[in-house]
Amino acid sequence: MAIQSTISQIQSAATTAQQATATKNDPSQLGESDFLKLLTTQLQQQDPTQPMDNTAMVAQLAQFSALEQMTNVNTTLTQMLTGQGTALEATAASMVGKTAIFNTDQVSLTQGKTATITANLSQAATNVTLTIQDGTGTTVRTIGEGACASGNNTFQWDGNDDKGNPLPTGTYTAQVLATDINGKSVSLTQNGSAPITGVIFSNGTPKFVAGGSTLQLSDISQLNE
């Protein structure tokens, strides 16, 4: 629960930071100095025979005072958002070292080690086949997994090809195909898992480096210690 809460906190903070940046950079927003320039220009260009009415002057000065107060509030909010951005960076950095579960059909293989492929089946399947392809699209391994229940299913690949030869370290494509008792295709979502090794910030939004992939926060469905 704590890890899922961390993801929600980062999503909320990143959205707030993006909105604040957009408002700050909006050229249509008039600032305190702009208002003062307009008032000064108006006074310089007024007709000496018909000077500005005192009531109008007082009203504009009141508006200027209100604008100054709003500017001060905005400055305070900016400082708060800066602090929130620092907290966001710290929270995102705390995810480094945790294992991310994310949507992908790619699997990273280290020669001599076992690779894990995860698929979330929409319903139970009577026959599931796992096909592994190399970087050229050539099928190097086909594994029959038999029947599988609905929900998350984890499959292990020993890293060998169909002849039992160890395959080199690299990124492979894993395709999970499932059919029901009537031979109809079962819809599924493939997931991969890899430890988060780094965080990259782009316009206040964190991206996570895991298993050779750069992930958006929305790509990550689960975090494990």
Token readout for 74 is 């905005």
**What type of residue sits at position 209?**
V
Task: Give the start-to-end residue ranges of the domains of the chain.
Answer: 2-93, 99-224
Residue 15: which residues within 8 A CB-CB, separation 6 or more?
none
* CA atoms within a 13 Å half-sphere pointing along the CA-CB vector of 120: 10
Q: In CATH, what number does 99-224 get?
A: 2.60.40.4070
**Could you read off the pLDDT of 119-161 as tens digits, one per residue?**
999 999 999 999 999 999 999 999 999 999 999 899 999 999 9
| Tokens coding 24 | 């700050």
CA 68 → CA 34, 35, 39, distances in Å?
11, 10, 14
Tokens of 130: 């796992």
Q: Per-residue confidence at 1, pLDDT binned at 50, 70, 90? A: very low
> At residue 19, does pLDDT exceed 90?
no
SS (H, E, C) 86-130: HHHHHHHHCCCCCEEEEECCEEEECCCCCEEEEEEECCCEEEEEE
Tokens at 97, concatenated: 């070292």
Tens digits of per-residue pLDDT, 61-105?
Answer: 566 666 666 666 666 666 555 545 566 677 778 888 888 888 888
DSSP 29: S
Count the helices and strands in the chain (H runs, E runs). Answer: 3, 11
- Can you give the C-alpha Rg of the chain in angstroms? 29
Place of tokens 């990124």: 171
- Does this model's pTM top 0.75? My answer is no
What percent of the residues of the chain are helix, what percent strand, and what percent coil, each to the nearest 5?
A: 35, 40, 25
